[in-house]
Amino acid sequence: MISLNRTTFLTQMGVSGACSTSSATGRRHPVSLKVVSMDSNGRAGDRSGSVVVENSTMNEIAKAPSPVVEVEPKSTASSWAQDAYVDDSAAATEEQIMTPWSVSVASGYNLLRDPRHNKGLAFTEKERDAHYLRGLLPPAVVAQNLQVKKMLHNIRQYQVPLQKYMAMMDLQERNEKLFYNLLINHVEELLPVVYTPTVGEACQKYGSIFRQPQGLYISLKEKGRILEVLRNWPEKNIQVIVVTDGERILGLGDLGCQGMGIPVGKLSLYTALGGVFPSACLPVTIDVGTNNEELLNDEFYIGLRQKRATGQEYAELIDEFMTAVKQCYGEKLLIQFEDFANHNAFDLLAKYGATHLVFNDDIQGTASVVLAGLIAALKFVGGSLADHRFLFLGAGEAGTGIAELIALEISKQTNAPLEETRKNIWLVDSKGLIVSSRKDTLQHFKKPWAHEHKPIRKLIDAVKEIKPTVLIGTSGVGRTFTKEVVETMASINEKPIILSLSNPTSQSECTAEEAYKWSQGRAIFASGSPFDPVNYKGKTFVPGQANNAYIFPGLGLGLIMSGTIRVHDDMLLAASEALASQVTQDDYNKGLIYPPFTNIRKISAHIAASVAAKAYELGLATRHPQPKDLVKYAESCMYSPSYQNYR
Ligand SMILES: NC(=O)C1=CN([C@@H]2O[C@H](COP(=O)(O)OP(=O)(O)OC[C@H]3O[C@@H](n4cnc5c(N)ncnc54)[C@H](OP(=O)(O)O)[C@@H]3O)[C@@H](O)[C@H]2O)C=CC1
Ligand SMILES: CC(=O)C(=O)O
Ligand SMILES: [Mg+2]
């Protein structure tokens, strides 16, 4: 049995119009949300409580009275999306995974409560008649753009960012298309609401603001039953999972189960910025406990109240998860690891990189976005990457990930061995400069950076000694780029490149204002979380946002649309080059090394096309034939947040 998304199934079955049917009580009433689920024996049962279809087979369901059908616009996009959803040849059979098969058919009261299909006041008169909505809505019929205007107005009324976040999450749970229309069309204003910095505060307070669950929670309680848990998710055709175990949420540390805000936020960017269909996205939090005492003692904490499981217990749960999702969703499922602590992150990437389509956003996505910024920054500082010296504060996932990709790019450009190109890159961790005398005590991911040098304890001394042209903050500790550090960078360089990557804003190594003021307006500056433009001595400086959000949506789209089965470093390099190529002269004139997020869908299409092209070149793409114009193809694949007409 193939699995279909709701719309595809209904369209293929040729069903249209609304209908009446019998409920469990025998009362005739308009079909409301009908959710038919099948057990392993092919029997269907009710999952909504509104309509029961017992002992039905697929054919019987197909013959069932006609439900509401979305009329898909005739475009390549919808055909790609539908193809993508039905193409689960690599996935396990229904019998193997015992997944209940579900079809939702919404009308009437339940249609208004189905976020994927709800249009609120935008339902037309015809739709109100056809779908049993008469009387359930006030008389006004409004266009989607007016709804967007109203929501934006309402959100702007909130002074507290967390309230804006909650309003956005409520909207996502109420009317998905309106949520995405609003986010896509006001991305610069709303990205800081659904993403960093506000999502950080939301995770810290997730328990107390918890209303409607989002995403899938897999805790130690579900050990041995993960396949069964995946079955409870209403969508079967998942193309991308963002998963965290909550141990390193932004620079805020261990937030346990409350890290869920991150996969939810990242996946909403997959859709808004990269055009991946929301129904194909699955946010997951793996809860193995938390070592955060404050949360363990918080009466509103939503996770397991125990210390983190480690070692074999941890590994077994992750392994069961990785096996189950591949079995359920197939080999082409993209799994993005997010905000794991570094003592697990590198090992998970190495282990599953060989068997799954996995990608660590903190290590690889961050590396790709920073490399893009550095390529663009060469316009200001001249030379090639090989001419520069790099110093990092922070030698974890982000720091060593970026360092390695820079070294790889230089190695490719100069044909110098990787070991050689690493020598211009220095990292400082919490114990000081990473040098060879520390090698025996270093974690494995730091060892390649242990160069010959006398030990140096403090960042400022490392800056004076190494004389970097580029200073990158990946420490997760705010205000560590002090006045002295920035001034020293400015005394060494005409145009010092300073990137404060740590999130959220409170953890940024310095603010935009500090970077410009202390460097007398000479710094090329970008930060992980957004800062407002700064006025210094009558001139306006616009800081860029060096955040992996520029990369992962386009990278993910490129992998998905080409049916790629493994991530390769060359794809990260291709993504960097594609992003850097999107910085316009106008952006350079403003001092920017990243293009504005306003054009992000176009940028993502270019990134997706470059990644897909690389995947085809490497023989890792499985979707054939290769589309002629990959940029156009990527654009045509993207989810549209405009309402569809219901017959
Ligand atoms: N802008 C972006 O797109 C991204 C930003 N980030 C941000 O980067 C930060 C770090 O993330 P990640 O690399 O995953 O975290 P890790 O925990 O893997 O690494 C943190 C590193 O910082 C070092 N460190 C901690 N405190 C200090 C200090 N006071 N002085 C010097 N070094 C210190 C640690 O040292 P030690 O090893 O000795 O413990 C470690 O090497 C986070 O704030 C995160 O939000 C992450 C990914 C993407
Ligand atoms: C942006 C991001 O992934 C982080 O701060 O962890
Ligand atoms: Mg992250």
50 inside domain = no
Residues 454-512 have pLDDT tens digits of 999 999 999 999 999 999 999 999 999 999 999 999 999 999 999 999 999 999 999 99
Half-sphere exposure of 40 (CA within 13 A, CB side): 7
Looking from the CA of residue 266, the nearest atom of ligand 2 is: 3
| Top mutation candidate among 364, 446, 474, 597 for ligand 1, by most atoms within 8 Å of CB | 474
So what's the pLDDT on residue 89? 35
Same domain assignment for residues 375 and 519: yes
So what's the pLDDT on residue 74? 34
So what's the pLDDT on residue 27? 29
Chosen domain end from 525, 546, 567: 546
The whole-angstrom separation of Cα 81 and Cα 239 is: 10
Is the predicted pLDDT of residue 404 greater than 90, yes or no?
yes
Q: Which of 34, 266, 517, 614 is catalytic?
A: 266
Is the predicted pLDDT of residue 60 greater than 50, yes or no?
no
The whole-angstrom separation of Cα 378 and Cα 399 is: 20
Q: What's the structural domain count of the chain?
A: 4
One-letter identity of residue 512? A
In this structure, what are the phi and psi dihedrals at residue 361, rounded to the nearest 5 degrees?
A: -65, -40
- Residue 309 tokens read as 């499981």
Q: How confident is the model at residue 54 (pLDDT cuts 50, 70, 90)?
A: very low
9 inside domain = no
Is the predicted pLDDT of residue 12 greater than 60, yes or no?
no
**Cβ–ligand 2 contact at 548 (below 6 Å):** yes
387 inside domain = yes
The whole-angstrom separation of Cα 419 and Cα 573 is: 18
Is the predicted pLDDT of residue 19 greater than 90, yes or no?
no
The domain that holds 175 is classified in CATH as 1.20.1370.30
Is the predicted pLDDT of residue 17 greater than 50, yes or no?
no
So what's the pLDDT on residue 1? 20
Q: Is 646 an active-site residue? A: no
90 inside domain = no
The secondary structure element, H or E, covering residue 29 is strand 28-30
So what's the pLDDT on residue 107? 84
| Residue 339, annotated as binding a ligand | yes
Same domain assignment for residues 342 and 424: no
**Cβ–ligand 2 contact at 493 (below 6 Å):** no
Share the mean pLDDT of the chain: 87
Same domain assignment for residues 388 and 536: yes
| Top mutation candidate among 336, 340, 364, 397 for ligand 1, by most atoms within 8 Å of CB | 397
For ligand 2, atom 6, the nearest C-alpha belongs to 250
- Residue 64 tokens read as 């069932």
Q: Could you count the other beta carbons within 10 Å of the beta carbon of residue 464?
A: 15
| Top mutation candidate among 196, 362, 480 for ligand 1, by most atoms within 8 Å of CB | 362
97 inside domain = no
Structural domain containing residue 564: 550-637
The whole-angstrom separation of Cα 541 and Cα 439 is: 41
Distance from the CA of 40 to the center of ligand 1, in angstroms? 46
So what's the pLDDT on residue 11? 30
Chosen domain end from 511, 546, 581: 546
The whole-angstrom separation of Cα 216 and Cα 202 is: 17
593 inside domain = yes
One-letter identity of residue 238? I
Identify the residue with better confidence: 358 or 90. Answer: 358
Sign of the CA dihedral 383, 384, 388, 390? positive
**Cβ–ligand 1 contact at 196 (below 6 Å):** no
Half-sphere exposure of 494 (CA within 13 A, CB side): 4
The whole-angstrom separation of Cα 501 and Cα 521 is: 19
151 inside domain = yes
So what's the pLDDT on residue 105? 66
Same domain assignment for residues 570 and 615: yes
Q: Is 594 an active-site residue? A: no
So what's the pLDDT on residue 647? 77
Looking from the CA of residue 547, the nearest atom of ligand 2 is: 1
DSSP-H helix ranges across 442-499: 459-466, 483-492
The angle at the Cα of 533, spanning 530 to 538, to the nearest 5 degrees, equals: 160
C-beta separation of 534 from 213 below 8 A: no
The whole-angstrom separation of Cα 210 and Cα 131 is: 32
Identify the residue with better confidence: 85 or 99. Answer: 99
Please tell me whether the interface predicted TM-score (ipTM) of this complex is above 0.90: yes
Residues 154-165 have pLDDT tens digits of 999 999 999 999
Looking from the CA of residue 394, the nearest atom of ligand 1 is: 22
Same domain assignment for residues 369 and 515: yes
Same domain assignment for residues 390 and 511: yes
Residues 581-602 have pLDDT tens digits of 999 999 999 999 999 999 999 9
Mean pLDDT of 214-220: 98
Q: What is the CA radius of gyration of the chain?
A: 25
Is the predicted pLDDT of residue 571 greater than 70, yes or no?
yes
Same domain assignment for residues 397 and 528: yes
So what's the pLDDT on residue 106? 76
Same domain assignment for residues 531 and 382: yes
Q: Which of 132, 165, 195, 616 is catalytic?
A: 195
Q: How confident is the model at residue 103 (pLDDT cuts 50, 70, 90)?
A: low
**Cβ–ligand 1 contact at 338 (below 6 Å):** no
C-beta separation of 29 from 23 below 8 A: yes
Same domain assignment for residues 526 and 442: yes
Rounded to a whole number, what is the largest CA-CA distance in the chain?
Answer: 83
Q: What is the pTM of this model?
A: 0.89
So what's the pLDDT on residue 169? 98
Residues 405-437 have pLDDT tens digits of 999 999 999 999 999 999 999 999 999 999 999
Q: Could you count the other beta carbons within 10 Å of the beta carbon of residue 116?
A: 17
Mean pLDDT of 603-631: 98
The domain that holds 264 is classified in CATH as 3.40.50.10380
C-beta separation of 356 from 388 below 8 A: no
Is the predicted pLDDT of residue 574 greater than 50, yes or no?
yes
Residues 184-201 have pLDDT tens digits of 999 999 999 999 999 999
Residues 293-339 have pLDDT tens digits of 999 999 999 999 999 999 999 999 999 999 999 999 999 999 999 99
Same domain assignment for residues 450 and 409: yes
DSSP-H helix ranges across 205-341: 206-209, 226-231, 261-272, 293-296, 311-329
24 inside domain = no
Is the predicted pLDDT of residue 86 greater than 90, yes or no?
no
Is the predicted pLDDT of residue 214 greater than 70, yes or no?
yes
Same domain assignment for residues 152 and 201: no
| Residue 291, annotated as binding a ligand | no
Mean pLDDT of 370-395: 98
Same domain assignment for residues 246 and 119: no
The domain that holds 396 is classified in CATH as 3.40.50.720
So what's the pLDDT on residue 589? 96
Is the predicted pLDDT of residue 29 greater than 90, yes or no?
no
Please list, residue by residue across 539-560, b when 16 or more beta carbons sit within 10 angstroms of its beta carbon and e when fewer do: eebebbbbbbbbbbbbbbbbbb
Identify the residue with better confidence: 388 or 58. Answer: 388
